[in-house]
Amino acid sequence: MTTKRTEIDKLGEFGLIDHLTENFETKNASTVLSIGDDAAIIDHFGKQTVITTDLLIEGVHFDLMYTPMKHLGYKSVVVNLSDIYAMNAIPTQITMSIAFSNRFSLEALEEFYEGVHIACEKYDIDLVGGDTSTSQKGFIISVTALGEVAPDKYIQRSTAESGDLICVSGDLGAAFLGLTLMEREKKIFVENPQIQPNLENENYIVGRLLKPEARKDIIEILENNKIVPTAMMDISDGLSSEILHLCKQSNLGCRVYEEKIPIHESSRAAAFKFGLDPTICALNGGEDYELLFTMKQSDYDKITLQEEISVIGYMCDKEEGAKLITKGKNLFDITAQGWNAFGK
């Protein structure tokens, strides 16, 4: 049985855009004008507009040897929404631009946009524009997300205060371990294509890598409990890197307790299987897309029953430095060893 392949040039650019976006419907009142004109028109009715852009490049940010196109479409939306939620804002629209070589068929792009559509439906987002182009090599994605926030409600990285509690959502390190597993299986397959990938009992870490979620639920929990974070950001480059960003921009130091860092049991088991320290994976991995935030100590009682939020430390004076307190009560400097897009 042969897989159907339709060449994209049969549709032309405008025909391709119409075809790929025909199932997208407008949901938000703030979307005045969407796909079809030279530009979209957005009206957030007195609220402030939040904008973020991410670039995803094949071979740098993703590997199509083990990343399904549908998952890639979904993830490319979610990683942008995570930045909007990290500002304590609500995402409302995205634009999606892609460049692709002639090795990609219409069916491949349909699968990619199916993932985009699923993400838009789940998070109530309108796709309002974008662009398509050819690429000499590989697949390139650029997504811009827009959101809205009341003028006095947005949260920055630079507004934490000494004594504030440091909190994270969910658990950390799983996506890095999923990447470690997939890279291992890819290497084995390249060396011997007859060997099938062994992903048994690894659904959790693989899922966290290929299909992350933006933490809309955490923003809702904070609002429902009348908690206003003093600073916030998402965790895309590893906890240690993000903690240091908070410290630098708020001109503070911190103390993080190793035993308080949330690590899923599946991640812990995978780390031991690979001969890795689970704590190091949580600190220096990346692509968790959890939320890291600080809050007043007086709000602590409001989150004690929230299983999806962990208090892992506190902010302190800059002179005290950024330190990890190990399970053995030793102090170590926190260093940024997260993912580097410009590394070799």
Check residue 182 and give its pLDDT: 95
pLDDT less than 50: residues of the chain: 1-2, 339-342, 344
Based on the domain organization, do 311 and 176 belong to the same domain?
Answer: yes
* Structural domain of 251: 165-333
Cα gap 7→15, rounded to integer Å: 13
E strands, the chain, are: 31-33, 41-42, 48-57, 90-100, 126-134, 139-149, 165-169, 231-235, 252-257, 290-295, 309-317, 322-325, 331-333
Based on the domain organization, do 119 and 198 belong to the same domain?
Answer: no
Based on the domain organization, do 141 and 201 belong to the same domain?
Answer: no
Among residues 86, 114, 149, the one where a domain terminates is 149
Based on the domain organization, do 118 and 63 belong to the same domain?
Answer: yes
Check residue 17 and give its pLDDT: 67
246 Cα distance to chain centroid: 18
The reply to whether 178 falls in a domain is: yes
Check residue 14 and give its pLDDT: 64
Three-class secondary structure of residue 272 per DSSP: helix
Based on the domain organization, do 180 and 132 belong to the same domain?
Answer: no
Based on the domain organization, do 52 and 190 belong to the same domain?
Answer: no
The reply to whether 132 falls in a domain is: yes
Check residue 10 and give its pLDDT: 65
Check residue 3 and give its pLDDT: 65
The reply to whether 340 falls in a domain is: no
The reply to whether 154 falls in a domain is: no
Query: At 157, phi and psi to the nearest 5?
Result: -85, -15
Domain count along the chain: 2
Q: Could you tell me if 243 and 292 are in contact, meaning their C-beta atoms sit under 8 angstroms apart? A: yes
Among residues 149, 174, 196, the one where a domain terminates is 149
Based on the domain organization, do 196 and 261 belong to the same domain?
Answer: yes
Check residue 342 and give its pLDDT: 43
Pairing of strands 309-317, 252-257: antiparallel
The reply to whether 141 falls in a domain is: yes
Q: Could you tell me if 26 and 120 are in contact, meaning their C-beta atoms sit under 8 angstroms apart? A: no
Give me the CATH number covering residue 139: 3.30.1330.10
Based on the domain organization, do 144 and 183 belong to the same domain?
Answer: no
The reply to whether 1 falls in a domain is: no
Based on the domain organization, do 205 and 82 belong to the same domain?
Answer: no
Based on the domain organization, do 189 and 144 belong to the same domain?
Answer: no
Q: Could you tell me if 24 and 118 are in contact, meaning their C-beta atoms sit under 8 angstroms apart? A: no
